[in-house]
Amino acid sequence: MEARMWENSITERVQSTDRAKQRALAFQAVREGRVAPAATAEGRFVEFRFAAVHPSTVLRRLLDKEPYVFAPGLYNAGGVKLAAYAGFKAAYLSGFSYAVEEHGVTDVGVFSRAELAEQAARMVRASDYWVREQYVEHGDLRDPLPLVVDMEDGHGGFGHVQSLTRALLQAGVAAGHIEDQTEKRCGHLPGKVIVPAEKQIERLLAARSEADQMGYDDFVLIARTDAAGARYTPEGVAGSIDLAVERTLRYARAEIHHRRAIDLAWCEFKDQSWEAITYWARKVRAEHADLPLAINLSSSFDWTDRAHFPLYTFEMLADEGFKYLFMTLADCHSGRNGAWEFFKDIRERGIQAFPALQRREAESGTPSQSHNTLAGTKTYFTGGTVFGSGSFLAGDMRASDAEIAKVGTSA
């Protein structure tokens, strides 16, 4: 009797595995355009499956295919969704943005590596949710936004670097950058001190090794140098672009597991000078022509300074070898400016500011015009219908936010 029960249990597990494979193959046919999506939102919810590819592979494919990839600097899950709606193909978790927006302080190492990994996981999930929402609500198949994370100085010795790398990869992070400072601070704050190049190489090798040993060979590792603007250096010289070149070349030569440790190189520049940017890029690529570069088009720069006009373009940067471009505090500056304008209007005009805001939202086309759109509430209610919930019904969500608020209430 016991043998027969054991045999039945094995048979059920095999059948369950077979059914799972069949569902995966069925949705793969939808992805490849061989089968049309289900006709209803409920049907699409049932058949949807998240892609089985790690975000690091998605980012690596983008870097290989696109002339360049631009990612706005974000700090939370809502920002990731907004970036996805805006059409960006990647996202960036900025250390400074997270410090000021979630802790209310400057970027001087105020949060732990565990907290950083938790926030990254939320942002990765938000991207996944957006992918599901687009399919369930519209039948559109989209790619998630691979997330690049500010790993700062690695949060300690090589053991801490390994621990952080593991946590980020388990969270679904696609890439990370490690800087050569002695202690964490924003790259545009004064008084920076950098570690010996050997210490930075140790950090980079630890991160690369941990990713490879976990089987995430596509994890994109970015080496950042702060040597251009350092006040104190182990070399005993003032920080300069030439020192940044020397540091970058050493990091690019570092190898482990029969491969170069880093995938991109980044110099934190003091301003947006085209001459400094191209000088560093050309010196680095003279020795490592196959090494892609990254650049922070920082909010700390004065982009109105006419000394740097005419402004260069993304395409010009790509021609110089820059494949990953980003603005660290993009969401912080633009989002806070919008909130500031609204808050001032409320103070001046009271309730009259409310319709003015909604008109601006309608004119801009922002998905946050409907907070339910940004939150994916329709997909949530569709799931409720599929699960048999009597209180979450997909039909209740087919209206505007104001109309939805009245559903189920007395007249």
pLDDT digits 0-9 by tens, 347-404: 999 999 999 999 999 999 999 888 999 999 999 999 999 999 878 877 777 666 666 6
pLDDT digits (tens, 9 = 90+) for 290-301: 999 999 999 899
Provide, rounded to the nearest whole percent, the portion of the chain with pLDDT above 70: 92
**Distance separating alpha carbons of residues 23 and 293, to the nearest angstrom:** 40
Question: Whose CA is closest to 383, among 48, 81, 150, 80?
Answer: 48
**294 near 265, Cβ under 8 Å?**
yes
Is the predicted pLDDT of residue 12 greater than 90, yes or no? no
Is the predicted pLDDT of residue 221 greater than 60, yes or no? yes
Provide, rounded to the nearest whole percent, the portion of the chain with pLDDT above 90: 77
Among 81-85, 105-109, 221-225, the minimum mean pLDDT is found in 105-109
Is the predicted pLDDT of residue 407 greater than 80, yes or no? no
What are 406's two structure tokens? 């009245």
The conformation of residue 146, written as its DSSP 8-state character, comes to P
Which band of pLDDT confidence, cut at 50, 70 and 90, is reported for residue 3? low
Q: Of 126, 161, 186, 222, which one is the catalytic site residue? A: 186
pLDDT digits (tens, 9 = 90+) for 139-173: 999 999 999 999 999 888 899 999 999 999 999 99
Which band of pLDDT confidence, cut at 50, 70 and 90, is reported for residue 411? very low
Strand partners, 178: 223
Is the predicted pLDDT of residue 223 greater than 90, yes or no? yes
Please report how many Cα atoms fall inside a 13 Å half-sphere around the Cα of residue 332, on the Cβ side.
22
Structure confidence at residue 336 (pLDDT): 94
**Distance separating alpha carbons of residues 188 and 90, to the nearest angstrom:** 23
Give Dmax (Cα) for the chain: 86
The conformation of residue 53, written as its DSSP 8-state character, comes to S
Span 61-79, average pLDDT: 97
**Distance separating alpha carbons of residues 372 and 78, to the nearest angstrom:** 12
**Distance separating alpha carbons of residues 171 and 245, to the nearest angstrom:** 33
Cα torsion angle, 25, 29, 35, 38, sign:
positive
Is the predicted pLDDT of residue 208 greater than 70, yes or no? yes
The 8 Å CB, 24+ separation contacts for 282-288 are 282/320, 283/245, 283/249, 284/245, 284/248, 284/249, 284/252, 284/321, 285/321, 287/249, 287/252, 288/249, 288/252
Say which residue, 321 or 106, is predicted with more confidence.
Answer: 321
Structure confidence at residue 359 (pLDDT): 95
Question: Whose CA is closest to 263, among 272, 273, 255, 275?
Answer: 255
Question: Whose CA is closest to 52, among 131, 123, 126?
Answer: 131
Please report how many Cα atoms fall inside a 13 Å half-sphere around the Cα of residue 88, on the Cβ side.
26
Cα torsion angle, 104, 109, 112, 117, sign:
positive
Structure confidence at residue 13 (pLDDT): 60
Span 103-120, average pLDDT: 85
Span 86-113, average pLDDT: 87
Is the predicted pLDDT of residue 408 greater than 60, yes or no? no
Which band of pLDDT confidence, cut at 50, 70 and 90, is reported for residue 11? low
Active-site annotation holds for 186:
yes
Which residues neighbour 381 within 8 Å (Cβ) at sequence distance 6 or greater? 392, 393, 394, 396, 397
Is the predicted pLDDT of residue 262 greater than 70, yes or no? yes
Which band of pLDDT confidence, cut at 50, 70 and 90, is reported for residue 410? very low
**Distance separating alpha carbons of residues 196 and 48, to the nearest angstrom:** 50
Cα torsion angle, 352, 355, 361, 363, sign:
negative
What are 3's two structure tokens? 């043998």
Span 87-102, average pLDDT: 92
Structure confidence at residue 104 (pLDDT): 84
Instruction: Give the 3-state secondary structure of residue 174.
Output: coil
Assess whether the previous peptide bond of 310 is cis (omega < 30° from 0). yes
Residue-range domains of the chain with CATH: 55-328 (3.20.20.60), 370-411 (no CATH)
Among 24-38, 50-64, 322-336, 397-411, the minimum mean pLDDT is found in 397-411
Structure confidence at residue 5 (pLDDT): 53
Average pLDDT, the chain: 91
